[in-house]
Structure 1
Amino acid sequence: MENIKKIKKRDEIDSNYKWNIEKVYVDINEWEKDFQLLKSKAPKLKEFSGKLHDASKLLEFLKIQEEVLRLLDKLFVYAHLRSDEDTGNTTFQSLKNKIDGYWAEVMSFKAFFEPEILSFEEGVIEKEINEILELKMYDFYLKNILKMKEHTLDKEKEELLAAVSDCLNAPSNIRQVFANADITFPTIKDENKNEVELSEGNYVNFLRSKDRNVRKSAFENLFNTYYKYKNTFATALTSSMKNCIFTAKTRKFTSALESSLKPNNISLEVYDNAVDTINRHLDSLHRYVKIKKKMLGLDDIHMYDLYVPVIDTPKDHIEFKTAVEIAKEGLKPLGEEYLNIFTNGINNGWVDVFQNKGKRSGAYSWGCYDTMPYVLLNYNYELDDVSTLAHEMGHSIHSYYSRKTQPYIYSEYELFCAEVASITNECLLIKDLIDKEKDHNKRLYLINQQLEGIRATVFRQIMFAEFEKVTHEMLEKGNALTSEDLCKIWHDLNVKYFGEEMVVDKEIDMEWARIPHFFSDFYVYQYATGYAAANSFSSMILDNGEEAVEKYKGFLKSGGSNYPIEILKNAGVDMTTAKPLEDTIKRFDELLDMLEG
């Protein structure tokens, strides 16, 4: 075990467990050649400014834009993947910095495109599409741009908004620096009575401690520290919301919420229905709190008891090859073709498996149209790592299908769909593990894992979404929002969501201050809708077999060729209805029955 815990250098890792990055570029010299090619091609984009009313020129621009962006993507992905392998490698850091800088320059070369398209009189683009057959492929792409015409300003105002964009992002930047660099948290005693400095990074680990005093101490010290700076946090957050409202009004949207949803053709009803559906089923969350209180043997349950597992984590040591087989077993319902892609991905160097000195932490799936998908892991031989593998391979196989099926222009999927394939894999895997587990304690652990996933991804994120809706609407009506107002709104939401059994400690009132996602307005609800769509897909696949698998693969192959709601609807999941979220709550209730049984 000592060898496993030791962090190896990059060159000490077996090549079988490293991604095959050489398939992108054999070496840096090859990268440099393409970088020079990009620098010769990209400036040509500017030459089309003022000429797009000519159908042949529009087509020529779109083709050159694709060449440039594909080359840019490939260079960008390679540089970033190499940098993430070892963040201390100055050669790759330099490569990353070089392409990052040129990315902004390329964007400036094509910045005229959308404003020029939007300046045309009605019918011009449609006429051009009908003139040249090859332009038909760009029909959805161009009409999607035109859809935002009423929300696009004249050239001078657009330039002004672009010029102040950095200023508008200031509240988020201030909050990030203040929370992560300037605030110092006190020390607390861990389970072994050692003095340990509390931080944002280790806070959640303390909340999972079996020692209730440790949980309580971490909870109180973190939020009491935040409370000292409540007015600063409140000013940063309300300033950010006001900036969103200002931009929405300037662009003639009816509300800040509409300005976030309309670009993806998502109706306000989808957001409202998600909040209303969860509110109608809060009794399920209340029941979970009651069961957790009983299983933990507590006389009363506090907010700091939410994250502690109801059963000790299994300490199984799972080799990576075994993890691959466990994941494939859980994904069997997706069929032979899907499993073959999964296996080929593992064997052909999609995945960078183990931690090494300097490697970026966490996990992700990435790549571009002209590379294979790549998965970064920091595999640590635990059951959670198996789930992470299935999750990231879900992203990668989604990208694989999309890039293989769609032209470049439609090969990337929107955020609303981004987590669906990964969570579908998670749902299939955890259900398979629960159904087959014979050990009582391990089965309880697995059941609790999925319950916590739904609590944190669906109930919690919709509570966040409701907080955003309430606060933005108050500001839009001209009301002030002080730190006390934000604390009261947050407190009342926690009381409503967690029910009578939960002691809603006063410290939780400041939790809104530690959620950085609130500076990306109306973002978090998509975690909940993504989970609900994934749960629906996994249920249909298990219930209906091959027919459902084919529909699901249709979703994976769709990329960005239509609006997210339509792509999901065509595959059998209608997010304009309450059913996907209700089905997720049904699964939550089934798991609660298992936990009690």
Structure 2
Amino acid sequence: MQNNTLLQDDLTWDLTTVFKNDQLWELEFQSIEKILPTIADYKNQVTETAQGLFDTLEFDHELGRRINLIYLYSCLKSDEDTTNETYLSMHLRAQSLFIQLVSATSFIIPAILAMDEKLLEQYKESHEGLTLYRHYLEEIYIQKSHKLSSEQEELFSQLEEIASAPSQIYHVLTNAEIDFPMVTNEVGEKIQLSHGIYHVLLESQNRVVRKEAFLAMYETYQKQIQTFASTLSNHVKATNKKARIRHYSSARHAAMSQYSIPEKVYDQLLSTTKEHLPLFHRYMDLRKRLLGVESLHLYDVSVPLKDDVALEISYGEAKKIIIESVAPFGEDYQKVIQQGFDNRWIDVVENKGKKTGAYSFGAFGTNPFILMNWQNNMDSLVTLTHEFGHSMHSYYTRQTQSLPYANYSPFLGEIAATCHEELLFEYLLNKTEDTDEKIHLLHTWLQNFCNVVFVQAMYAEFEQTIYEWDSTGEALTAQKLTDLYSKLMKNYYGKALTVDEVAGVNWARITHFYYNFYVYQYATGKSAALMFSKQILEQGKPATELYINAFLKAGNSDFPIDILKNAGVDMESSEPFIEACKVFEEKLTLLEDLLCNK
């Protein structure tokens, strides 16, 4: 650990590009506080004339842009040192200001939805400025049939807090209230089990350590399984009822409709993944053989199969590797990443009080910023590559799109970052001549694919099933949930895995089941990224230009599915999922060949 004051400037991000100092931030904050009350002046003009609609939308987006800068600066300054009460206070004030904006402008969308569709079309045709907002208005209007009357919407919003209670209770229970026992680590010490420690222990080469941690974690959840079943059941019930009230055909329809994703995408993922489960089974068989165990258990599926390869990578080396790995994107792309290193987009070093983890964050009119907690290892290299993928997506979007479209859908969110990871993997695999390093890289890649595609598809099937059960009146009891999860594990992992009775309670540990049909996007994002990276590596410049121009620069200017189609990936077809599984099979075969020749 180092103190921030001792760090070199080039290892910290330069936030003066957002605000020169705290005083200018404060002046802007006070200025916006004075403007917020004037938003009410637009209530009477928002739909009266085309000019009134245009002025309202312009005012709303410009004010949002300014508040985003306030929020960005306060967030990054607070994350530099989470113990700094000055910046924590600034961040809380920025959050409050953002909430005030949302509340003050809440009349705009209902007013637009209340308009006659023909009148709205006349406005768009008669006012040149509204041409910019054509797709923005289309996205709003497409949800009209699911909006309620103003009185009903008010009642619905009041019930929202009650409907979110199961999720809130679950998070308090699993993060604060659950009491984990002491377990033994690799050196024989007794330590307190936690969510973070659990993942570390599962990668231990000592099977006794892994098993003890596994049983301690799952048996703890088993003791409170009725409570977890109650929170999940009530969350599903509330989500289903909200979907019905808004006239959606299902909760899944409601969740995917929010971002205009056809439900066919979900179905294609599940059906294609199931067809390719023999590949997952083949990998599990290989893992079982390499570990030399009579029976493979859930506590055996995360341990690295090649633990004697430790690649130490300095931050300086990482810069060079990342820039070289993205060479297929072209020199201009590499120059932007070099600019990110040279112009201090990154806060690099782990420090006392600094926020843990990593992310990419920015706003319209700023460069992206990357938070890292750098360690000289492969994980940090992959993480920085990943976050630069997000940053490049944001950079090209904000450089190209106007303010209403200068962001992108969550459905597209992980694709660019994962594409970066794929290019890094190919670069490292092709560069090394060391067989053990190749084996290590392939193990890592295959394990990641299993976790992101096969396992997330399993989660997606579990989630869909329990929502269907509830919609037909079936009670989601703890036993039913556990039996379903155990059955899915046996189907997905195959005969190589022995599914312990207690393993079926794993559904209670999956936080994402409270995020309403979110998990499938990990698998779709990975599949799209694999298809993009394959096209780029095989076709070169034409594929690269299409990827950058049609995908990275598109932002929210079109529906997510159409953006991907324009860039050469049709997620409504089975092709991306089939191609992803083909890549998995190629990597698995290569690993098997390397192991046979050792």
**Fold shared, TM-score > 0.5 on shorter chain:** yes
The answer to whether structure 1 residue 535 and structure 2 residue 514 are counterparts is no
Q: What does residue 414 of structure 1 align with?
A: 409
Offset from partner CA, 1:68-102 (integer Å, 9 cap, x none): 00100000000000000000111101100111111
Offset from partner CA, 1:177-215 (integer Å, 9 cap, x none): 111111111111111111111111111111100000011
The answer to whether structure 1 residue 593 and structure 2 residue 589 are counterparts is yes
Q: What does residue 12 of structure 1 align with?
A: 6
Q: What does residue 120 of structure 2 align with?
A: 125
Which residue among 434, 452, 477 is the counterpart of 2:472?
477
How much has 1:438 moved relative to structure 2?
1.4
Q: What does residue 219 of structure 1 align with?
A: 214
Which residue among 198, 201, 211 is the counterpart of 1:206?
201
The answer to whether structure 1 residue 99 and structure 2 residue 94 are counterparts is yes
Give distance in 1, aligned partners of 2:308 and 2:427: 18
Offset from partner CA, 1:270-321 (integer Å, 9 cap, x none): 1011011100110000000001111112222111100001101532331111
Give distance in 2, aligned partners of 1:452 and 1:179: 26
How much has 1:63 moved relative to structure 2?
1.3
Q: What does residue 3 of structure 1 align with?
A: none
Structure 1 residues 476-515: aligned runs within 5 Å = 476-515=471-510
Structure 1 residues 340-355: aligned runs within 5 Å = 340-355=335-350
Amino acid across the alignment from 1:539: K
Structure 1 residues 318-329: aligned runs within 5 Å = 318-329=313-324
Q: What does residue 576 of structure 2 align with?
A: 580
- Residue pair 1:573, 1:580 contacting (<8 A) in 2 also: yes
Structure 1 residues 345-494: aligned runs within 5 Å = 345-494=340-489
Give distance in 2, aligned partners of 1:126 and 1:336: 44
1:502 is paired with a residue of what secondary structure?
A: coil
Offset from partner CA, 1:242-275 (integer Å, 9 cap, x none): 1110110000001111001112221111101101
More displaced 10-residue stretch of structure 1: 563-572 or 96-105: 96-105
The answer to whether structure 1 residue 159 and structure 2 residue 142 are counterparts is no
More displaced 10-residue stretch of structure 1: 446-455 or 306-315: 306-315
How much has 1:42 moved relative to structure 2?
2.5
How much has 1:222 moved relative to structure 2?
0.5
- Residue pair 1:43, 1:106 contacting (<8 A) in 2 also: no
How much has 1:41 moved relative to structure 2?
2.2
Q: What does residue 171 of structure 1 align with?
A: 166
Q: What does residue 259 of structure 2 align with?
A: 264
2:524 is paired with a residue of what secondary structure?
A: helix
How much has 1:529 moved relative to structure 2?
0.3
Give distance in 1, aligned partners of 2:496 and 2:387: 37
The answer to whether structure 1 residue 559 and structure 2 residue 558 are counterparts is no
Q: Structure 2, unaligned stretches of length 5 or more?
A: 594-598
1:558 is paired with a residue of what secondary structure?
A: coil
Give distance in 2, aligned partners of 1:415 and 1:108: 23
The answer to whether structure 1 residue 55 and structure 2 residue 50 are counterparts is yes
Give distance in 1, aligned partners of 2:365 and 2:36: 18
Amino acid across the alignment from 1:47: D
Give distance in 2, aligned partners of 1:243 and 1:339: 48
Give distance in 2, aligned partners of 1:84 and 1:313: 35
- Residue pair 1:327, 1:387 contacting (<8 A) in 2 also: no
1:123 is paired with a residue of what secondary structure?
A: helix
Offset from partner CA, 1:5-35 (integer Å, 9 cap, x none): xx11111111110001111111110001111
1:188 is paired with a residue of what secondary structure?
A: strand
Q: Structure 1, unaligned stretches of length 5 or more?
A: 1-6
Give distance in 2, aligned partners of 1:483 and 1:146: 41
Give distance in 2, aligned partners of 1:472 and 1:425: 35
Give distance in 2, aligned partners of 1:397 and 1:78: 20
Give distance in 1, aligned partners of 2:43 and 2:3: 50
- Residue pair 1:13, 1:356 contacting (<8 A) in 2 also: no
Give distance in 2, aligned partners of 1:316 and 1:264: 40
Give distance in 2, aligned partners of 1:9 and 1:440: 40
Alignment TM-score, normalising by the size of structure 1: 0.98
Q: How many residues align?
A: 591
More displaced 10-residue stretch of structure 1: 338-347 or 292-301: 292-301
Q: What does residue 46 of structure 1 align with?
A: 40
Give distance in 1, aligned partners of 2:429 and 2:586: 12
1:301 is paired with a residue of what secondary structure?
A: coil
- Residue pair 1:234, 1:482 contacting (<8 A) in 2 also: yes
How much has 1:50 moved relative to structure 2?
3.3
Give distance in 2, aligned partners of 1:313 and 1:18: 33
2:288 is paired with a residue of what secondary structure?
A: helix
> What CA RMSD, in Å, does the superposition of the two structures yield over aligned residues?
0.9
How much has 1:343 moved relative to structure 2?
0.5
Which residue among 16, 27, 30 is the counterpart of 1:33?
27
Q: What does residue 4 of structure 1 align with?
A: none
Give distance in 2, aligned partners of 1:156 and 1:361: 43
How much has 1:122 moved relative to structure 2?
2.3
Give distance in 2, aligned partners of 1:484 and 1:370: 52
Which residue among 135, 150, 159 is the counterpart of 2:130?
135
Give distance in 1, aligned partners of 2:307 and 2:430: 19
Alignment TM-score, normalising by the size of structure 2: 0.98
Offset from partner CA, 1:358-389 (integer Å, 9 cap, x none): 00000000000021100000010101111111
2:347 is paired with a residue of what secondary structure?
A: strand
Offset from partner CA, 1:319-373 (integer Å, 9 cap, x none): 1110011111211111111101110011111111111110000000000002110
Give distance in 1, aligned partners of 2:311 and 2:215: 33
Give distance in 2, aligned partners of 1:331 and 1:159: 50
Which residue among 244, 251, 273 is the counterpart of 2:239?
244
Give distance in 1, aligned partners of 2:390 and 2:496: 38
Give distance in 1, aligned partners of 2:483 and 2:429: 40
